[in-house]
């Protein structure tokens, strides 16, 4: 449905599969202007008609950044989830967004803009860039708001001109005494975050996916703009120029150190695929399309994996301990790390990010196999950081996987079962409640089979939500009062008048209740327990809007009448649903032996093969990148030097945690 407000009138027109159902119709007068388009996805055209708030948010945020001053509001009316995207600073704000978890070398992004007439056609270029203390570059290029993931002529022109401009400035200001030779492009771009936003009519791309711009006239234009305007910026801001050039000189020294380290390592054959690492148990298969490499945590697990594997096509490389965090290290340090050298040598594709030769890859599947515990997760994250920063083409081409070893082994008689985590194992025992159990309430109501199963399942989920809320400083007493009151309006915290009914109810159960301004958003409620040493609690909007509180409230409504009633199984009496649920789960586990694996090394080779390595039965997770900007941000937050962004990330996402291994 199309609705247009223009020239004092409101016009509407309805469509079906792109064809108008009737002519444009005038339905009234208005003083407003604008266009509204409402559509429903057609399942006969689209294979997937589900809207994903996160995916839409990422794309709309991108568009808002690239169009300074444009406001976009995204509203999901199903769950009232909202997001507003408005960035007055445009691409400069985009750069600030990307650098928020890094330390900038200069306070504001450098902004360059040019508008020209090319044979009667208007062309627009804007570039924002900022150097940070990180060791990785991030250049995002867009043509007519389309992200060109593989770059193109605009990126080539930008890179070459940037290097020339810096070297020219160094020469003109006699700064070359600190250098043996001109700076290389990689030195100049170390720690650089840049956005190139190009708008041109009739752009030429290398393919229909528009991932690479090939319009040849763009390169020379961007080169001339950078040489003129970026050099002018350096002349006008000598202190900023000095800071970023000092970093570039340091990067050049590190590059030279890395080159020497590579030479030493190459002489020893450590990076040469013809000299494979001693710890590698290689496979017999020489066709890379059929071969797999398991990168395994520790010598113990490596020993089990070597015995468990099918040596015809499976190779095993054990790692000793945790590898270097490459997010915090320069290339010369990385190349000297023994475990990383072993990985590079085993893969056979070299270590040059610009000229990585995937045709020499020795294994089609590279599988990270670590323990199913916290340490294993940390090692896996360190490995993922290395592959993301230095072997990204392997992720792009779909070569990187994560093994899913079980955490539990359950045995009864000849029956042996494996479970990935505690939640999956508890789910197995929970389903057994359906078998031959009949429960009667004190009022005579009978529950069994599926009905009993769903009641116990809902209660356990309810209890889990309460525990998570309590772990974040909300008292059980307060949670129960909120649930009894049925309070669910997080937006009320923006207006203290709307909170009055809730305040009145809470006043009956707490010594003091007051509304105080919240520095983050609106207002919060401060509560104090009875007694001289009564505890204080702070109820914030984010608690009410958290997924766990919403889940707890929905389950409370379903279970309300059963939570405090009594139950009987035969002559055995249970005073509450909690006591009944605990007893039922204990009954289902009788006769079973439960083993929790502390590590892969605890499994014998046969168990490791059948659960984790056998292609017919194993479960692998393929590592993919859906949003490069978000992936880069997350790696910087979790693995970078900045502590505050990591702390903020943990606090922000604490209530969203679903699987927590303590």
- 3-state secondary structure string, 299-332? HHHHHHHHHHCCCCCEEEEEECCCCCCHHHCCHH
Alpha-carbon distance 282 to 316, whole Å? 7
Q: What is the DSSP letter of 520?
A: S
The CATH number that applies at residue 371 is 3.40.50.670
Q: Tell me, yes or no, whether 134 and 161 share the same domain.
A: yes
For residue 374, pLDDT beyond 80: no
Helix orientation angle between 238-267 and 153-172, rounded to the nearest 10 degrees: 110
Catalytic residue among 285, 292, 297, 548: 297
Q: Cα dist. 463→50, 427, 455, 619 in Å?
A: 31, 15, 12, 30
Query: What average pLDDT does this structure show over 6-20?
Result: 89
Residue 329 domain-assigned? yes
Report the range of poorest mean pLDDT among 120-124, 142-146, 152-156, 648-652: 648-652
Q: Is there a single domain that holds both residue 607 and residue 587?
A: no
Active site residue 371: yes
User: Do 100 and 241 belong together in one domain?
Assistant: yes
320 domain residue, yes or no: yes
Q: Give the per-residue pLDDT at 658.
A: 52
The pTM of this model reads: 0.65
Which of 363, 349, 343 shows the shortest CA–CA distance to 280? 343
Tell me, what DSSP letter sits at residue 86? E
Closest CA to 295 of 320, 270, 316, 326: 316
Tens digit of pLDDT for each residue in 465-484? 898 888 877 888 999 999 99
Cβ neighbour number for residue 597 with a 10 Å cutoff: 20
199 plus 309 within the same structural domain: no
Percent with pLDDT over 70 in the chain: 92
Q: Which two tokens stand for residue 31?
A: 């003083």
Indicate whether 513 belongs to any domain.
yes
Residue 240 lies in a domain: yes
Of 261-275, 447-461, 642-656, the range with the highest mean pLDDT is: 447-461
Domain containing residue 50: CATH number:
3.30.565.10
Return d(Cα 1, Cα 383) in angstroms, integer: 50
Residue 269, φ and ψ in degrees, nearest 5: 80, 10
pLDDT greater than 60 at residue 267? no
Question: Phi then psi for 389, rounded to 5 degrees?
Answer: -80, -35
Per-residue pLDDT tens over the stretch 34-88: 998 988 888 888 888 888 888 888 889 999 999 998 999 888 866 667 889 999 9
Predicted local confidence at residue 520, as pLDDT = 64
Under 8 Å between Cβ of 578 and 459:
yes
Q: Is 376 exposed, middle or buried (0-12, 13-18, 19+ CB in 10 A)?
A: buried
CA distance 37 to 410: 56
Distances in Å between the Cα of 192 and the Cα atoms of 133, 136, 247, 327, 576 are: 9, 7, 11, 15, 61
Q: Alpha carbon 28 to chain centroid distance?
A: 48
Q: pLDDT confidence of 394, banded at 50, 70, 90?
A: very high
Q: 337 and 373: one domain?
A: yes
Arithmetic mean of pLDDT over the chain? 87
96 and 156 together in one domain? yes
In the chain, the largest separation of any two C-alpha atoms, in whole Å, equals: 96
Tell me the CATH number at 110: 3.30.230.10
609 or 101: which leads in pLDDT? 609
Cα pseudo-dihedral 466, 471, 472, 474, rounded to 10: 50
Q: Which domain holds residue 547?
A: 433-596
CA distances from 651 to 60, 264, 370, 518, 657 (A): 26, 45, 27, 16, 11
pLDDT at residue 196, as a whole number: 97
Does the structure show a pLDDT above 90 at 555? yes
Q: pLDDT digits over 529-547, tens only? A: 877 566 888 888 888 888 7
Among the listed residues 250, 256, 332, 373, the single catalytic one is 373
Residue 79: the pLDDT is: 65
- What phi, psi does 62 have (nearest 5°)? -60, -45
Q: Which of 164, 107, 102 is nearest to 134 (CA)?
A: 102
Catalytic residue, chosen from 371, 458, 548, 632, is 371
40 and 117 in a single domain? The answer is no
CA dihedral sign, ordered 42, 48, 53, 59: negative
Q: Assess whether 520 and 441 both reside in one domain.
A: yes
Average pLDDT over residues 361-368: 94
From residue 182, give the alpha-carbon distance in Å to each of 31, 134, 192.
63, 22, 18
How many other CB atoms are found less than 10 A from the CB of residue 401?
18
Closest CA to 114 of 145, 158, 84: 158
Task: Name the 3-class secondary structure at 230.
Answer: helix
3-state helix, strand, coil in the chain (%, to 5): 45, 20, 35
Across 330-342, average pLDDT:
85
Last residue in a domain, options 67, 85, 103: 85
Domain final residue, candidates 35, 59, 85: 85
Same domain, 359 and 300: yes
- Residues 119 and 243 placed together within one structural domain of the fold: yes
Residue 419 is assigned to a structural domain of this protein: no
* Token pair belonging to 70: 């444009």
Q: Which residues contact 557 (CB under 8 A, 6 or more apart)?
A: 486
User: Which pLDDT score, from 0 to 100, does residue 655 have?
Assistant: 54
582-614: pLDDT as tens digits? 999 999 999 999 998 877 878 889 999 989 999
Judged by DSSP in three states, 59 sits in: helix
Model confidence at 657: pLDDT above 60? no
Q: Does some domain include residue 260?
A: no
Clarify whether residues 511 and 579 are in a common domain: yes
Query: What is the distance between the alpha carbons of residues 400 and 293, in angstroms, rounded to a whole number?
Result: 10
Task: Using the 3D structure, point to which of 85, 119, 151 is the last residue of a domain.
Answer: 85
Give the pLDDT confidence score for residue 257 in this predicted structure: 82
pLDDT value of residue 135:
86
Angle in degrees, CA 284, 286, 288, rounded to 5: 120
Gap between the Cα atoms of 203 and 216, Å rounded: 10
Any domain includes 638: no
Q: Is the pLDDT of residue 142 over 90?
A: yes
Residue 104 has pLDDT above 60, yes or no: yes
Catalytic site includes residue 297: yes
CA Rg, the chain, in Å? 31
Rounded Cα–Cα distance for residues 275 and 147 (Å): 41
133 is annotated as an active-site residue: no
User: Is 375 one of the catalytic residues?
Assistant: yes
pLDDT for the residue 124:
96
pLDDT tens digits, one per residue of 409-432: 999 999 999 998 888 898 899 999
pLDDT band at 653 (very low <50, low <70, confident <90, very high): low
Q: Look up residue 651 and give its two tokens.
A: 């606090």
pLDDT at position 308 over 60: yes
* Residues 377/317, Cβ–Cβ less than 8 Å: no
Q: What is the pLDDT of residues 213-245, one digit of tens each?
A: 999 999 999 999 999 999 999 999 999 999 999
Q: Which of 134-143, 203-212, 318-327, 627-636 shows the lowest mean pLDDT across its residues?
A: 627-636
| Active-site entry in 375, 396, 424, 578 | 375
pLDDT higher at 441 or 300: 441
Residue 646 within a domain = no
The string of pLDDT tens digits covering residues 26-42 is: 888 888 899 989 888 88
Is 656's pLDDT higher than 70? no
Q: Find the range with the poorest average confidence among 266-270, 318-322, 390-394.
A: 266-270
Domain count, the chain: 4
43 and 10 within one domain: yes
Q: Token digits for 457?
A: 């399942």
d(CA 662, CA 374): 8
């Amino acid at each position: 449905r199309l609705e247009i407000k223009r020239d004092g009138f409101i016009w509407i027109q309805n469509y079906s599969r792109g064809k108008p159902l009737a002519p444009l119709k005038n339905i009234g007068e208005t003083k407003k202007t604008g266009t509204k388009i409402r559509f429903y996805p057609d399942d006969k055209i689209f294979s997937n008609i589900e809207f994903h708030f996160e995916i839409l948010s990422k794309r709309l945020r991108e568009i808002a950044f690239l169009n300074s001053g444009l406001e976009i509001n995204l509203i999901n009316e199903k769950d009232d989830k909202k997001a507003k995207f408005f960035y007055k600073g445009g691409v400069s704000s985009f750069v600030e967004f990307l650098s928020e978890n890094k330390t900038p070398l200069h306070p504001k992004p450098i902004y360059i803009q040019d508008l020209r007439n090319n044979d009667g056609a208007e062309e627009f270029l804007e570039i924002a860039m900022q150097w940070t203390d990180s060791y990785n570059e991030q250049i995002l290029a867009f043509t007519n708001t389309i992200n060109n993931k593989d770059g193109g002529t605009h990126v080539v022109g930008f890179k070459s001109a940037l290097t020339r401009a810096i070297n020219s400035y160094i020469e003109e200001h006699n700064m070359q005494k600190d250098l043996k030779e001109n700076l290389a492009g990689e030195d100049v771009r170390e720690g650089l975050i840049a956005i190139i936003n190009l708008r041109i009519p009739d752009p030429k791309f290398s393919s229909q996916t528009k991932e690479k711009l090939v319009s040849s006239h763009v390169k020379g234009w961007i080169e001339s703009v950078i040489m003129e305007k970026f050099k002018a910026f350096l002349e006008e801001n000598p202190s900023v120029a000095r800071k970023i050039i000092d970093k570039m000189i340091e990067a050049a020294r590190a590059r030279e150190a890395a080159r020497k380290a590579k030479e030493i390592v190459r002489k020893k054959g450590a990076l040469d695929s013809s000299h494979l690492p001693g710890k590698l148990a290689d496979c017999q298969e020489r066709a890379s399309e059929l071969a797999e490499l398991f990168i395994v945590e520790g010598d113990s697990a490596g020993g089990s994996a070597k015995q468990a594997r099918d040596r015809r096509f499976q190779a095993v490389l054990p790692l000793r301990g945790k590898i270097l965090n490459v997010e915090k290290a320069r290339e010369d340090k990385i190349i000297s790390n023994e475990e990383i050298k072993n990985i590079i040598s085993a893969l056979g594709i070299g270590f040059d990010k610009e000229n990585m030769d995937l045709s020499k890859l020795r294994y089609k599947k590279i599988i990270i196999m670590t323990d199913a515990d916290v340490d294993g997760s940390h090692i896996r994250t360190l490995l993922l950081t290395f592959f993301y920063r230095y072997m990204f083409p392997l992720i792009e081409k779909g070569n990187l996987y994560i093994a899913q070893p079980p955490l539990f082994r359950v045995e009864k008689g000849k029956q042996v079962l494996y479970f990935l985590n505690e939640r999956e194992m508890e789910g197995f025992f929970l389903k057994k409640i359906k078998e031959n159990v009949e429960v009667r309430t004190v009022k005579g109501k009978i529950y069994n089979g599926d009905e009993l199963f769903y009641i116990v399942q809902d209660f356990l989920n309810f209890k889990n939500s309460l525990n998570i809320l309590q772990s974040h400083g909300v008292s059980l007493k307060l949670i129960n009062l909120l649930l009894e009151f049925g309070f669910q309006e997080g937006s009320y915290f923006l207006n203290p008048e709307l909170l009055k009914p809730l305040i009145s109810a809470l006043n009956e159960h707490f010594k003091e209740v007051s509304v105080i301004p919240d520095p983050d958003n609106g207002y919060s409620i401060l509560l104090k327990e009875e007694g001289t040493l009564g505890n204080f609690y702070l109820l914030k909007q984010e608690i009410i809007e958290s997924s766990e509180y919403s889940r707890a409230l929905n389950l409370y409504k379903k279970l309300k009448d059963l939570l405090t009633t009594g139950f009987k199984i035969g002559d055995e009496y249970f005073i509450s649903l909690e006591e009944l649920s605990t007893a039922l789960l204990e009954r289902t586990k009788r006769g079973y032996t439960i083993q929790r694996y502390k590590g892969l090394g605890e499994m014998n080779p046969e168990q490791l093969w059948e659960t984790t390595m056998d292609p017919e039965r194993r479960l692998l997770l393929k590592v993919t990148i859906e949003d490069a900007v978000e992936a880069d941000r997350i790696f910087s937050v979790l693995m970078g030097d900045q502590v505050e962004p990591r702390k903020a990330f943990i606090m922000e996402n604490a209530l969203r945690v679903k699987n927590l291994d303590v």
